[in-house]
Amino acid sequence: MLVSSTGGREGEESVPARVETDREDLCYLVQEAREEWQQARNYFDWVTEPGLIDYAIYWSLAAQSRYHFLLQLAKKSGVALTWAEVFRYSLAGEGNRSNYLGCD
């Protein structure tokens, strides 16, 4: 087993780097889930066929559940916004909220 000068195995990332990667992945998943939920709600607003309305409801509820689950996971993981960030993202248009969780 080779150990790098940073104390880990050669080729392994350090623990802080892995934590930051996990945080970034979680931020990405939350953003993706929020966008999917918005798409599902928009689809529901425009669909007119009865069978597709049922599908739109199912999709919206599933996307909402996924989004809420990931938000809770982010909260437990310590991913949070400051009040300044909340205010800044609330003023941004929907299309400009690329980073609403404060994730880089």
At 52 the pLDDT is 95
The model's pLDDT over 52-104, given as tens digits with 9 standing for 90+, comes to 999 999 999 999 999 999 888 888 888 776 666 556 655 654 544 445 555 65
pLDDT value at position 60? 96
Average pLDDT on 22-34 reads 83
Between 55 and 31, where is the model more confident?
55
Single-letter code of the amino acid located at 1: M
Tokens of 79: 């991913």
Compute the distance between CA of residue 71 and CA of residue 43 in angstroms, rounded to an integer.
Answer: 23
Neighbours of 39 (CB within 10 A): 13
Q: Which two tokens stand for residue 41?
A: 């709600």
CA distance 28 to 19: 14
pLDDT at residue number 90: 59
Q: What is the pLDDT of residue 46?
A: 96
What's the predicted TM-score (pTM) here? 0.61
Judged against a pLDDT cut of 60, whether residue 4 lies above it is answered with no
Confirm if 97 and 32 have CB atoms less than 8 A apart.
no
How far is the CA of 5 from the CAs of 14, 17, 20, 60, 64, in angstroms? 11, 15, 20, 49, 45
